[in-house]
Every structure is written in C-alpha cells, then in structure tokens.
Structure 1
Amino acid sequence: MTRTGRLTAAVLGGVALLCGVVVAAPAASAPPPGFTVEVLSGRPDTVTGGDALVAVTVPRNVPVHHVEVTVDDVDVTSAFAPTEPRVLVGLVDGLDHGVNTLRVESNGAGRGRPVAELELTNHPATGPVFSGPQTSLYCSADGAPWNLGDVDDFCHVDGTQVTYRYRTTGGTFADLPDGGLPDDVATTTTTEGEEVPYVVRIERGTLNRAVYETAVLHVPGNPAPDAWTDTPGWNERLVYTFGGGCGVGHHQGEATGGVEQDLMLSQGYAVASSTLNVYQQNCDDVTSAETAMMVKEHLVETLGPVDLTMGWGGSAGTMQQLLISNAYPGILDGVIGDIGYSDERSVTPNGHDCRGFLNYWQSTDLEWSDAARQAVTGYGTADACFGYSLFDGVDNPQTGCHPSIPAEDLWSEENPDGLRCTVSDLNRNVYGVDENGYGRRTAPDNVGVQYGLRALADGTISAEQFVDLNAEVGGMDLNGNRTATRSEASPEALTAAYATGRLNQFTGGLVHTPVLEIRRYRDDVGDFHDRYRSWVMRERVLAAHGNADTHVSWTSPDDPAVGAQMAADALAAMDAWLTERLALTGGGEPSRAETVAARPRDLTDGCYLADGSFVSETISYSDEGVCNEAFPYHADPRVVAGGPLASDVLKCALQPLDRDAYPVEFTDAQWARLEQAFPTGVCDWSAPGVGQVPLAGTWLDFGG
C-alpha cells in the first residue's frame, strides 16, 4: 500500500476513536457528509512540543482548493498539502500551551458547506503530559556520550543532532564519511521488497527531559524525510526498544534501549528509544510511557504516519512494554518481550525475600544444604537468590541514585530533606506520600509469609529450619535498614498499585494487545529471569479473559544462534499478526475479537530445541510435554510459601495460626517462636490481597 493509501485507511478508520470528530461515519456507498479530521501524530489531548501532524479528509461537495484551516483564528492552510486527491496533511505548529481550537471549513461555508472543529491540547516538549509533577533530574545531554549542546533547567537541548552510519559488507556498523558512499557499503532488501543502500540516519535530541534516538534507512543527499513523500527503504513501521534493569538514578542517562538494530533496520523498520525507557535509569513506567508517546509523536511528525508500532526489549524492557500497553494503550500495537516479567512491583518482593534469606544463611548456626536452600527459594538453583538480591536496592533510599549525583544532595539521617532514591519516592505521584513526605511503598511486605511451607510439607527442610528461618528472616524499614521485624507496605499504596495498573492485571489495553514473549532458558544456571515468569503472565491472562488467545510464549535453549533465530521469528510473526489486524480494523481501535481473529493460524506456543527445530505445544505449568521436559518450570519464594502462581498478591490477607494445620509436630518452644514471628497471623492465600482492586481505567493522569 502506498503512503496515500495508508493515510486514507488511518483517517477513515481511526477518526471516531481518537479525535471525537463531529461527523458520523458515512455509509460505505455514500460520500462523507462533512470533513473528518485526525491527529496522525498521536491523541489530540496529548499534543507536545507545539506541533501536530493533522490529516483532513475533504467531502466531495467541497473543492479541495476551497478548504481553509485555522487554529484559534490564525490561518494555517498553507501548512497543508495533498497526499491523495481528497486528503490534506499538515504539520500545524506554533500551538500555545493548553487548548487550541483547530477549525476546518470551506470558503463557501455560508452556503451550507460543512465545518469541523477539533481541540488540540498542547503540552511542553519538556513534559509532563500525564505523569504529574516532575522529580529532580541531573543532566547528561551536554556531556558524554551525547554531547548534544547546552541544556536548560529541564535538561532540554534546542534542536536535534543528525548523524549517519552504514552497514559494511563485512557485517558491522561504521560512521559514514563525507563525500559519498564508501565502496564497502552493504545493500539491504526491506520487507517491501525494496533494495537500498544500507545507510542509517540517526537523530538525537531531548524530549520529556530524556535523550532520545531515532534511526531509519536514508541516504544523505536524498530529499529529507517528511510526512508527504515516501522515504526510500522505510517500510512505515516502527520498533520501539526498551532497556532492562531497575534503578532510581534521577539522572538523564547514558544509554537508550538501542536503535542500531540490524535485525530491524535491515528490513526497513524505523527504530526509536530514549534514556527514560531504560528501567535501570528510570524505574517508572508512567514516565516511560509518556516519553515513548512523545518520541513516537516526533518521529511521525518527522517521517510521516506509522502503520504499526512494535515494542522490543528484555527483562524490564518487557515489563515496560506490558505496563505501557495495559495502562496507555495505543502507544504500542504489539509486545515482543524477552526474558521478561509482568511488572516490577510483583517481582521486587522476591529480591527482598532473597536478601532476607542470604542474610539469614550467613548468620544462622543451623546447617542448610544446597537442596534445602533451593527448596525454600523455589528457583532452579539456590544461587539464583544472589541475582534477585539486586532488586533489594530499589527500595533503599541511599543506594539507588546515579554515582555522579553529589553526596550532599542525597538523603541520609543527617540530611532528611535530601533526594531519596527508592521506587516509591520516584513514583510518589502514583502512590502518594506518608506523614514524613516519603513515597508510600508497596514493597517490601512479608507480614504473614511462611517461607518454606511447601518444603516443610515435602520433608526437604525440618521443622526447626522452618521455624528458625521464619523467626529470623526479618525485613527492611523505610530507610533501607534491615530489621528484625517483618516489612509492611502502605495499604493506600497497595490500592493505588492495583487501581492504576502498576500491578499488571492484563485488563486494560492488554485486552486487545498481542503479546509474544520469548525466553532463552537459564533456570539451571541460577539466572533470575526464570521460565516461571512466562507462566505468571499466562495465569494473569487466563484469570482476566478465560483464554490466552492474545498471548504466545516461546522458550529456547541458552544458545545464541537458536536465540537469534527465535527473536527473528518473533519479529516476523508479530508483524504478520498486526498487519492482518490492521486490515481488519482499518486503523481504528481493535477489539479483542479482532486481535484474536488476526492471529496467524500457525502462531502457537512452543519451544525451540537444541537443533533449532520448533515444537508447537501449549504451555502448561506441569512436568508433561516435550517443552516442559526440555525446559522445566520452577517457582519463587512466595509460591513455596503457598502463594498464587499468578504472583499478583503484594500483601496477603491474614488468618490465625493453627497448630493443627501443619504436616509436622512442633515442640512447644518452636510453636512459641512461630507465634512470636507471626503475631498477627499468617497468609490466607485463598483471599484477595490487601488493596487488590480492579484497574480504574486507562490513560490515567497523575497531574493532580
């Protein structure tokens, strides 16, 4: 389909949803009765940077040259040009902050010709849009590795930096020299069958206080990309990359999710990302969503409309894709996640569990075998806890900030007004603040958790080990100090976590967003990106919808070649899925039924074996099946403690201790220690978690 054809599909298919246009959709055989107007670069209520790419479809009773477009009575008609006979596209700029009224009419409107109006709500290029009051951020755009120029108080740099790279015939990227293409420049064939020089235009700048990057095939000297003409080599599709980790750096960042991606660029995809889409630099999915929205908006205004956008990223890069797709649907059309998790808040408790275990095992006089330690953690090896202990730092106000931030600016007992580097403080707009002004926390909380309960039942640990572990494991206070008592979360923060989508229940945009998650299997070497996390996603999808028709899960051995093939297959499969759905919807918001109908018939769960062959097999949390034998599931400390496989309870409801409920006999001394360890009772996993409420809605605004 040509660009003009795609624009027509987008305008006619997406107007009613995105723009609230005043005209009704016409009958298939009749011409449209009035103008239709759409913001191609995003939603009309989230315009940023003072400009928006707008499409106007002109009814047949109005000559195109009679169309007039104004914004708050200022004529902007000259910004519009035809992309096909009755579609005009224009980059409207100079918008004021706040509401701007765009009006489309014919200079013959007084003779019964149609009129349409649309409100464009503009926000600063530095943000925020919906994330709420901004936290402190230390700039890096003016230094290495970016060197973008002088920054203002918002870490913003005026203008953009454009450089070029090329793919050599030897299979590497290199800087493109001045003076024409070098002899060793490779060529590539895109998904559209177009063969072009493999030269990549990379643009860098700042948006929403993040450094962003975009990349697309483009040879310098050719006409600059714009919204009205095709860019040779670009297939008009976007892959947005997200980075992993989890950190509270309060720093602009030194890396994006990466745009120099041969797999995507060689096929003609544009690639985009930013520093605030790397969770190690910004463990906040709301600002990640906001930033991705703004970067995508800018890319559309630069290159033209995007047919579809796929997310890409591993570990917390998957977290972000899932959270953004659920809470802010439409930014991403599909999720391709690698070694990922459903969200951050429900996996971080495992880090605190592991920190408690490690501290306990280093101090106890009891002997614990590797098998006993593994049984308590639930992981493939006991050593996995060493990796999970990294999560402990995101709730410690003194350890999470970027090392470049001056020590005198950071929180301490002596500097109580300093910057606190916890996820709860970073996300204070979501969770609120306590009486100290600190961000309310959803984790850690281990009140009532009976660590090792399943291991006790199967005889892997003794009654004395069970009692001693639970009596001594302790917790963490608000200031990151280990405590003898268990940790307790804020009930208000817990409710906010569920209601706003920080605990991902897959009931927002993930109702209709296809998810293809892949995983190179490393359970057996102690990697905490364990296969159980794939089943957590499946449990939640099944709980939300009764079927998993929008979720596909693949596993492979930990082999780079097989893993690369799996990733390439995933990109092709998601592209096919979304292409078919686009044909069904015409560009409008999809339903779950349309997403399911568009799923390729041969796209199934399964696994890749060591020889690269694929086994089609529905995933199941069991020992049965070829894939489960090759890549067995494990669990985590909360599952071993009796918790749900969905891992969706941040704080359990409690029930009284019952001595008769255990499969072993405790001595009176042991029972007394358990009563002391659980003074308010133990977890009742059959009940909903504390604060476990439904999602309140999507596109929530935290600016209040």
Structure 2
Amino acid sequence: MRRRMVLISAMATAAVLGIGTPAAPDTDRAGERFPASREFSVQVLSGPADMVTGGEALVEVVVPRSVPVHQVGIALNGADVRGVFRAAEGDQRRLIGRVDALHPGSNRLTATANGDGLGRPAAELELVNHPGHGPVFSGPQVRMYCTADEPPWNLGAVDEHCHVDQATVTYRYRTTSGEFRDLPADDGLPGDVAITTTTEGDEVPYVVRVERGTINRAVYETAILHEPGTPLPDAWTPTPGWNGVLVYTFGGACGTGHWQGRTTGGVEQDLLLRQGYAVASSSLNVYATNCDDVTSAESAMMVKEHFIETYGPDRFTIGWGGSAGTMQQLLISNAYPGILDGVVGEIGYPDERTVTVNGHDCRALTGYWNETSTSWTAEERRAVTGYATPNACTGFMFFDGVDYPDRGCADAIPVADRWDPETNPSGIRCTISDLVANVYGRDDNGYGRRVAPDNVGVQYGLQPLNDGVISVDQFLEMNEAIGGFDVDGVPTQERSAADPAALERAYATGRVNEFSGGLEFTPIIEVRPYRDLQGDFHDRYRSWMMRERMLTAQGNAHTHISWTGPGGGAVPEQMRSEALAAMHDWLRIRSDLAERRPLMGERDLTVRSRPAGLSDGCFTDDGAKIDEQIQYGVANTCNELYPYHADPRVMAGAPLAGDVLKCSLTRPSRDDYAVTFTDAQWERLVGIFPDGVCDWDQPGVGQVPLEGVWLTFSGR
C-alpha cells in the first residue's frame, strides 16, 4: 500500500474536499514567487488531479488580474484546448472547461499568458488519468459477474469489464397523489404532476431526470429535478431545480462481492428530491453486493466525478444510508476524506470487522447452547450475550457468514465457479478476507489473510459470573466447549485465531475505524429508531461504540450528534428530515466560515460551524425532542426511554469501544474474580486458557495507529 499525503490546510482545502489542488506559481526568477494577484490558479473541480478517470476532467483556471482574459492560453499535452473553456457565471476570470481525450496515465495541462517577456505568469497541473472501469486506488480487481444487461437494469451489451457503451436517461414524475410514475414521452407535462419547492425557495415541476450507466464496473444512478426541454444545470449556469447539494446514498447488509448487483443505494427518494437535492449512488455502494469499503469509496469518488462533469460542482456532498450504509459513510469519511462532506446515518455501526466479531461469538455461543445438556435459562443466556433479548444473537449471526468461503456467494456466481474443498479448491472463495485481499494480503495457500474470527483468551460470561447470574461450573463448561472455526468455516475444538499481519493491516489502513482520520473534521448526525427490545441487531449500543472511539481519538465529540427515537410510527421519518436539514445547515455554515477564515483548521471549522441548539438527544413517541448528551450506564431520561445494552465481548470484560479484534493475554489471577474457585475449578480454568486470558487493559494485537488517509493498494 502507498500513502497519498493529503494536506489539511487552507491552501489544500480543495484537495481535502476532493476537488484538486491549485498549481504552484511560476518561479522563473530564482527565489521569487509572483504575488497572488499575478498567479494563475489551476485545479480539477471534478476530483483529485492524480485520480482522474474516464478520460475527462472538469478544470478551472483562475486568471490573474495582470493578464487580459483574451490573452490566456490553455493547452493539454501541448495541444490548444482554450476553446472548451468558458467564463463562469458572474466571474469572467474563472474559466471552466471539460477537458477530454486524456491519455492513460500522466497528462500536462498548462495555462499561460500569451506574449513574450520576463515574468509572464504561467502554471501547469499534472492530471493522472485512470480507466473508467477502474481501478484507481483499490488495487487489482476481483473477478466480476455482470448484471447490467439483465433486469432490472437492461442497459445493453456489456464488455469484459461489465461496462456498457452509453448511459441511459429516463424521466419520472411525482403525482399530486404522492406516487412516482414514468413521464409520458409525448410533449407537455401530465395534469397530475406535482409542484415542489426546493430549499432555495424555487417552485418547479416535480420531474426527475434519472441517468444510469456503468462506472468502476458498477451500475450507477443519478437523479436530479429537471423538466425536459429546459437547460440542464452545468458548470457554467445553475438552474432552479437543483439546490447545489449532492446526496450520495449507500445500501446496507454485507455480501462478499464478485458481481455487479441489482440495486444501488437508491436515488428515487422523495424526501431528498422534493427539496431540490441531487442524488447519486452505485451498485458497489450497496454492502449486500460489495462489503468492501475501499471499492465503495473508489466507486463513490468516480460517480461523484462524473456527476460534477455533467452538472457542475456541488456546494457539498452529504452521505445518506442506514445500517451498513452508515458503516460505509463512516469508513469512507475516515479513510478517504472529502468524498463526503457530512454523514447522515441511521441504525449504523462504526465498521464491519468489529461488528462481525459479534456474529462469530453468537454462532459459537448458540452452537454450545444447542449441544449442551446443562440447563441454561433465557435470562442466563441473555446475560452472557449482553443483548436486550437472547434471540438478538440470531440476527448477529448474519454477519459472520462473510468469513466462510461457501456461504456468501451471490446467486450470480455459478456454482461451478465457487470454491469447494474437494471439487474446486481453486474456485472463488466468498469471504471478506479474499474479497479485500489487496488490503489484508494472502497467506501461503493463496487465501486472503484472516482478520476474524479470533476468540483466544476470551472469557465468555465473565461479567455474569462476577454478578452471580451464572455459576462457576456453567462458566467453565461454556468456555471449555466454545471452540472456534477454521479458515473454511468448519467448527473446531480449538479456538479461532486471526492472522497477526492481517490484524495490523486492518488497523493501519482504517478497516477498523478508530475515528482518527477524516472523521476528525467530518460532521456526523446519526439517528437510531430503537428496536433493542425486539431483538434487532441494530442496537443502541453501536451509537455509544462510535462515541467511545471518538472520545478516545479526539478528546471530545463536538462533531458527532446522536439521536434515538421510537422504532415505529412517524417519528423515524421526522428524525431523518430534521437530520438532513441540520446537516445542510451545518455544512452551509462551515462553507461560509471557510471563506471568511481560510487559515482555520479543518476540525475548528466543523466545531465552530455546528448550528446553535444542535445537540444529542432522544425523541418521544409524539415527536418531542429531549436534549440530553448521550451517556452509557448513566440514569437519565433518554436511557430510561431507550436503555443501552451490550454484547458478548463487553460481557467478557472488553472495553465499550469494541475495537479489539484479538486481545493481548495475561496469566489469570484469582483476585480478578468476584467469585471463589475451588482448587479443582481453578486448575480447570488454567487448562482452558493455557496461553492466558484477555488483558483488556492492553491494546489489542496489531492495534496500531492509522497509517494515513487516501491509501493506495497494490495487491502485494
């Protein structure tokens, strides 16, 4: 992996926001730089200059006041491209052009002042072009099974990269009765088309332009209010249908890829479109299709680039999605900051690897309880799991399937191509470790290095034991019999052990999200309809897990807002709507403050821009908000309404941050237990844990700091 340095400073704000960097000023005279008024500024508006894709880029050239605009020359690789540049609305010195026909690899764009003479300003910018089918930074691509030519997409013939030649455009409209329908092809609008008012106060027909195509081997969708026959918004001229903000949506669940998918995060969303937001997503931003945040980030960057090249730069981009859709937003914002400017999540988790630990624990515990002859009450089981109900483990077991090669394959992958230990040992292994092997590396067998499961040293039920809920004999029998799973998902008597090299990469690259990268300055609003008591695995504890990690990384949580409310009725939609409005306000204030205070640090900008009155809290059944800082294990109003619970690792003594994949070990001591062991019981305990028990006061094995942001992977 290679670290791409991203400067977080006033001059590099554009780079952090994913819109390129200004070119260095001309330095013809040794040791002398032209004053700002005499410099050209050249930057890519559609994405980082070294990560241009698809052969084109939207570029801005700001002309210094010392140069007449008509004397500006712009060239790409020595060829004149001045003709594609036009002045932006209201600013004749901002020239914007969509530059195409970029060569693969390095390209040189130059801006000069025509004429002779010492000291004539000039600037140049290197644009590095990558294929539209990728990759850019994710490394060698896995085998992909195409679906773009099948329902529901039906986009036409695909090539070897699952790409189609051209995007398709269709129109939908919202009826006055609140339905989306296809817009008839004949002239004029239907009589039942609704009229909507955007956040900017513009009243427009509720007609939506939907574009579908392929980018980075994914099917993408964009949607924007637009009436056929009227000008589209572009980089030079805005139109009243778009409020200038892009919302990027992400889908949930977790699947191990190798196929193009049949859904995106969803773009036909009334709450967003009716207010004038543009919406974008792709099939590789749905974790059920592709549970890989690196390729999700890459796809989002590339789709956003295409959107900007089509419609012009957005003011900012808001992430949107629930469950693993929130997970993706947090991981992308931390490891690839600037693709998203703000996170609006629902019922989410901080990352995939640490929540998958719960799935493995639940499968092991459930296997034990199904086989033991010892009587366990429902309350004893619940106490060991830490959840609100004992059946919550059934839901969490969904996660662990992604670590077993024969369980996670999509229907699109032919059975004959899948791994089988006897008939096809070289087939596709549908595991996270193999899908993301560019990150974790491969072992001597060619398999992706295993990050999970690992339960060596874990004392399941330690807290219930000390609380007197379960007996010493129950505790010993459970930990003696719990076992583990091998690399192929086969149950073993031995406990599961992760690969130390893979563990270190998981932390160093940000797959375990410690909130120490871009989340230092990315605002987060996460909402959680409360369903703990129904056994839902989207439990409230995950919100506190995020908060714990942020407090550890930043010392405070000024950039994180958490709301909890009832699980049903109208309040969840109310929370979504209010979260969207609050994030829009937060980012608008931040953008304005950044213009006034260009030297202010990124985190300070975010903290000082938080709207007045925006705070943690919870909502009652009637929609009333209680402003109250979230706190775990404290008696307060929100916790009485919506109690926190825990998980099996917390009940085994793990910290609430939940960020330890493999614990450090220590010799057990009788002083660490609130119960008394007989000598025979103690000898049995030591035999169960010959290498020691978890020392949760120490960092986990391989738990190193984040190496950097915008990492590029080579697959080695």
Q: Give me the TM-score of the superposition, normalised by structure 2.
A: 0.94
User: What does residue 31 of structure 2 align with?
Assistant: none
What is the identity, as a one-letter code, of the residue corresponding to 1:462?
A: S
Query: Does the Cα contact within 8 Å between 2:197 and 2:204 map onto a contact in 1?
Result: yes
Structure 1 residues 39 and 278: alpha-carbon distance in aligned structure 2, compared to 1, 3 A threshold: same
Q: How does 1:203-602 map to 2 (within 5 A)?
A: 203-414=211-422, 415-586=424-595, 591-602=602-613
The one-character-per-residue Cα deviations of 1:659-700 (angstroms, maximum 9, x if unpaired) are 443222334554444333212110000001000100000000
Q: Say if 2:173 and 2:193, in contact at 8 Å, map to a contact too.
A: yes
1:178 paired to 2:200 = no
The answer to whether the 8 A contact 1:338-1:519 is kept is: yes
- Cα deviation for residue 61 of structure 1 reads 1.5
Unaligned runs of 5+ in 1: 1-9, 25-29
CA RMSD for the aligned pairs? Answer: 1.7
Cα displacement string for residues 378-427 of structure 1 (whole angstroms, at most 9, x for unaligned residues): 01111100000111200000111112211111111121111000001101
**Residues 623 and 629, structure 1, Cα contact 8 Å, conserved in 2:** no
CA distance in 2, matches of 1:154, 1:16: 30
Does the CA contact (< 8 Å) of 1:234 and 1:270 recur in 2? yes
| Structure 1 counterpart of 2:629 | 618
CA deviations over 1:190-225 (Å, ceiling 9, x no partner)? 011000000000000000000000000001111234
2-structure distance, mates of 1:356, 1:703: 35
Q: Is the 8 A contact 1:238 1:308 kept in 2?
A: yes
- DSSP 3-state at the match of 2:649: helix
* Counterparts of 2:50 and 2:116, CA distance in 1: 27
Out of 392-401 and 656-665, give the one that drifted further.
656-665
Paired amino acid for 1:380: A
1:163–1:422 CA distance, 2 compared to 1 (3 A): same
2:56 alignment partner, one of 51, 60, 63: 51
Among 663, 672, 679, the alignment partner of 1:652 is 663
Question: Counterpart amino acid of 2:697?
Answer: S
Q: Where does residue 158 of structure 2 map in the other structure?
A: 151
Q: Please name the residue that 1:27 is paired with.
A: none
Alignment of 1:121 with 2:128, yes or no, is yes
Q: Which amino acid aligns with 1:14?
A: A
Equivalent position amino acid for 1:49 in 2: G
> Are residues 1:638 and 2:649 paired?
yes
Q: Among 37, 41, 44, which residue is 1:36 paired with?
A: 41
May I ask how many residue pairs the two structures share in their alignment?
Answer: 690
Distance in 1 between residues matched to 2:440 and 2:150, nearest whole Å: 33
Bigger mean CA offset, 594-603 vs 582-591 = 582-591
| Distance 1:187-1:12 versus aligned 2 partners, 3 A rule | farther
1:199 aligned onto 2:201 = no
Give a deviation string over 1:239-266, Cα, whole Å, max 9, x none. Answer: 0000111110311001000000111100
Judge conservation of contact 1:514–1:551 (CA < 8 Å) in 2: yes
1:19 is matched with: 21
Q: What are the superposed Cα offsets for residues 323-352 of structure 1, whole Å, 9 maximum, x if unpaired?
A: 000000000000011000000011101000
> 1:400-458: per-residue Cα shift (whole Å, max 9, x none)?
11122111111111211110000011010000011111001111000000000000011
Which amino acid in structure 2 is aligned with residue 631 of structure 1? Y
Distance 1:234 1:463 in 2: 64
2:37/2:66 contact within 8 Å kept: no
Is the 1:11–1:57 contact (alpha carbons within 8 Å) kept by the matching residues of 2?
Answer: no
- C-alpha distance in structure 2 between counterparts of 1:322 and 1:254, whole Å: 24
d(CA) in 1 for partners of 2:77, 2:253: 45
Contact 1:276 1:291 in 2 (8 A): yes
Give the superposition deviation at 1:473.
1.2
1:67 paired residue number? 72
Asked whether the equivalents of residues 12 and 586 of structure 1 are also in contact (C-alpha less than 8 Å), the reply is: no
Q: 1:685 aligns with which of 688, 691, 696?
A: 696
Return the alpha-carbon distance in structure 2 between the equivalents of residues 545 and 218 of structure 1: 42
In structure 2, what residue type is equivalent to 1:591? E
Match for residue 6 of structure 1? none
How far apart, in 1, do the equivalents of 2:290 and 2:688 lie?
36
CA contact (8 A) 1:14 1:586 kept: no
d(CA) in 2 for partners of 1:328, 1:428: 19
Q: For residue 457 of structure 2, give the secondary structure of its aligned residue in structure 1.
A: coil
Q: Does the 8 A contact of 1:512 with 1:590 survive in 2?
A: no
Deviations 1:60-97 (A, max 9, x none): 11111111111110111111011121111000000011
Q: Is the 8 A contact 1:434 1:440 kept in 2?
A: yes
Give how far 1:622 is off. Answer: 1.9
Shift in Å, 1:34: 1.3
1:604 to 611, 615, 618: 615
Deviation of 1:359 after TM superposition, in Å, equals 0.8
Separation of aligned partners in 1, 2:367 and 2:476: 16
Q: Once structures 1 and 2 are overlaid, which stretch shifts more, 221-230 or 289-298?
A: 221-230
How far apart are the structure 1 equivalents of 2:680 and 2:411? 48
Q: 1:463 to 1:524 in 2, by over 3 A?
A: same
Determine the C-alpha separation between the residues in 2 that align with 1:198 and 1:438.
51
The answer to whether the 8 Å contact 2:25/2:122 transfers is: no
Match for 1:474: what amino acid?
A: G
Give the distance between the partners of 1:155 and 1:71, measured in 2 at CA.
30
> More deviation in 540-549 or 222-231?
222-231
SS of residue matched to 2:38: coil
Q: Secondary structure at the match of 2:583?
A: helix
Amino acid at match of 1:191: T
The 8 Å contact of residues 327 and 501 in structure 1, kept in 2 or not, is answered as yes
In structure 2, runs of 5+ residues without a counterpart are 1-9, 27-34
The 2-side partners of 1:663 and 1:110 are apart by 85
Quickly say closer, same or farther: Cα 1:16–1:188, change in 2 above 3 A: closer
Query: Is the 8 Å Cα contact of residues 376 and 452 (structure 1) preserved in structure 2?
Result: yes
Q: What is the CA–CA distance in structure 2 between the aligned matches of 1:377 and 1:243, rounded to whole Å?
A: 28
TM-superposition CA deviations, 1:347-387 (whole Å, max 9, x none): 10100000011111111101111110100000111110000
SS in 1 for 2:711: coil
Partner SS state of residue 224, structure 1: coil
The secondary structure found in structure 2 opposite 1:322 is helix
Compared CA separation, residues 331 and 435, structure 1 to 2 (3 A): same
- Output the amino acid matched with 1:621: Y
Q: Which moved more, 1:596-605 or 1:654-663?
A: 654-663
Normalised to the residue count of structure 1, the TM-score between the two structures is 0.96
Determine if the alignment matches structure 1 residue 137 to structure 2 residue 153. no
Name which of structure 1's ranges 321-330 and 76-85 shifts more when overlaid on structure 2: 76-85
Shift of 1:657: 2.4
**Kept after mapping to 1: 8 A contact 2:285/2:299:** yes
CA distance in 1, matches of 2:166, 2:235: 19
